[in-house]
Structure 1
Amino acid sequence: MGDSYGGGYSRTSYNAGGGDDAGGFVYGGSQNGSQSGAGKGYGDATLRPVTIKQLIDAEQAYPDAPFRVDGLEITEVTFVGMVRAISPQTTNVTFRIDDGTGVIEVKQWLDADKQDDENSPKNACALDSYVRVWGRVKSFNNKRHVGSHYIKPVTDYNEVQYHLLEATFCHLFFTKGAQGGAAAAANGGAGNDSMFVDGGHGAGGGDVPMSDGLRMVSAKARQVHAWLVNAEGGNEGLHANIIATAMGISVGEVLKCGEELTSAGVTYTTVDDETFAILDY
């Protein structure tokens, strides 16, 4: 992670190490304090770690206006996800990337002189593998995609977890302020309000009715259920990795609790055996 989360810049530890626009600046306003999208140069760019859900939900005041996440203008973004589809074209490769919070298309334009290089995107990234993407959010025909400057395979699965933690921290910093600061105190602390959760109370917050199914499961499983009740998972639910990161427990614990809850008839698995949604609440 970078060293600063205030108004200045710092370098992300996941520097692209290449690409024309890879950059590496994170967190904060532009160097000149400008929030204008028009004529924004690369010296004014920031690199924001995000989830795909944040990109899908990003606000845009009008067509061609800058996108905003947590009320702040974003330029460069980076995220980690799994490659669900690859569509090679003559001039670009389109990847369909899924990070457990949403799915988005990533377009990587090809260098005609390097298309046969083994390190080119279409050769370096395989289906069902994790990748890290750097790029900019774009919109065409009211459909959002990411124009990628650089995309690389993830060789250490820890990077998936690190990224989710970094994105969560960044979101909480900008929405609740620095830890222990006035903004954090005014909002009652960090809680579980993140890009994975709605404005509810999160795990352990509010009163979750104790159904017959919930009485059959462990206390830890009830905590996972309480968190899911307040999460914005939609019909597709949320992956165990997302739940584990947000709740601060291991993926193994989430899977065990998910199995308990599914057996008790209060949750069900959706897109795969590690993605859970509330059956009925």
Structure 2
Amino acid sequence: MDYGYTTTYTSAGNQDGGGFLPGSQNAGDSGGAKRKFGTDTLRPVTIHQLISAHHPSPDAEHFIIDNSEATQVTFIGQIRNISTQTTNVTYKLDDGTGIIEVKMWKDMDQDTNDSAPGKPALVEQGYARVWGRLKAFANKRHVGAQIIRPVGDLNEVQYHLLEATAVHLHFSKGPLDNGQTKPGANGASAASNTNGIDSGYGGTSGGAGGMQIPANLSSRAKKVLSCIQNAQQSQEGLHIQQIATQIPMDVGEVQKAGDELQNNGLIYTTVDDNTWALLDV
């Protein structure tokens, strides 16, 4: 995948690449304005990134994520609720970093009650991958989906989170320099400067690997975040019992701290609900 950033993502169906979704080339903006669909991209994201995205100007229709325009997005989440209306089906998805609604509009020319025998169905508590565009209506955000399908292999969930992290790091910190670490101001590698959390936690900056640490983060959450950051990193992350032993802290307090960190998009669950890893590593 070219994080330049165009993509040859083909998981959505029988696309030929280039980051387009079926029908997106024919869509038009209201008022007769024409978009340059040649500049559209397909970007893997977390729901927290969608919630935190902003408009570059009051009249802009596209959103900005990590100082880069995000047109089409893809993400994976667990379906918490399915609501069927006359014109659309609304799915409420949760990926551990946030919750957002996804609307799939019905094609009135097709019989939506027909489903192919043996075809996997979208069900509550199951996982689904979404391709679509971030929308805002009446100060509430949702994703207008072109495609939503169930996730059959749960390895795809972890793959997506790793991919979204890699793209986030590309846009927020720049591309890798041929695998070489860049020297810091004191001659040490830049990586060595991110091994600990800024003990001051001043404002909204500083912290693990350049994370934006919320100023209102509780002391217990800071301790848990520091423990995860300073632990030997692996794809599986750190279990709640290990954290409670290392700090030390009551398991119930660690759970509350973990919920706070997940709500702020700083960590995510890995092999189970009680094993956490840094989102920005």
1:51 to 28, 32, 46: 46
AA at the equivalent of 1:263: D
Q: Secondary structure at the match of 2:134?
A: strand
Deviation at 1:117, TM superposition (A): 2.3
2:255 to 247, 253, 268: 268
1:250 to 236, 261, 264: 236
Equivalent position of 2:82 in the other structure: 86
What is the CA deviation profile of residues 258-279 of structure 1, one whole-angstrom value per residue up to 9, with x for unaligned ones?
5646635642345996388xxx
Equivalent position of 2:23 in the other structure: none
Deviation at 1:64, TM superposition (A): 4.2
AA at the equivalent of 1:51: T
AA at the equivalent of 1:39: K
Q: Secondary structure at the match of 2:128?
A: strand
AA at the equivalent of 2:75: F
Q: TM-score, normalised by structure 2?
A: 0.65
**CA–CA distance in 2 between the matches of 1:156 and 1:41?**
35
Deviation at 1:66, TM superposition (A): 1.4
AA at the equivalent of 2:207: H
Q: Secondary structure at the match of 1:173?
A: helix
Q: 1:172 to 1:229 in 2, by over 3 A?
A: closer
Deviation at 1:48, TM superposition (A): 0.5
Equivalent position of 2:208 in the other structure: 202
Q: TM-score, normalised by structure 1?
A: 0.65
After TM superposition, list the pairs within 5 Å mapping 1:71-150 onto structure 2.
Answer: 71-112=67-108, 113-118=110-115, 124-150=121-147
Deviation at 1:170, TM superposition (A): 0.3
Equivalent position of 2:160 in the other structure: 163
**CA–CA distance in 2 between the matches of 1:248 and 1:157?**
18
Q: Secondary structure at the match of 1:65?
A: coil
**CA–CA distance in 1 between the matches of 2:227 and 2:139?**
33
AA at the equivalent of 2:78: M
Q: Secondary structure at the match of 1:168?
A: helix
Q: Do the aligned residues in 2 keep the contact of 1:135 with 1:148 (CA within 8 Å)?
A: yes
**CA–CA distance in 2 between the matches of 1:108 and 1:160?**
21
**CA–CA distance in 1 between the matches of 2:155 and 2:251?**
32
Q: Secondary structure at the match of 1:163?
A: helix
Q: Secondary structure at the match of 2:208?
A: coil
What is the CA deviation profile of residues 179-231 of structure 1, one whole-angstrom value per residue up to 9, with x for unaligned ones?
2379x748834959xxxxx743217x9xxxxxxxx9xxxxxxx985415699x
Q: Which runs of 5 or more residues in structure 1 are unaligned?
A: 27-37, 193-197, 206-213, 215-221, 231-242, 277-281
AA at the equivalent of 2:133: R
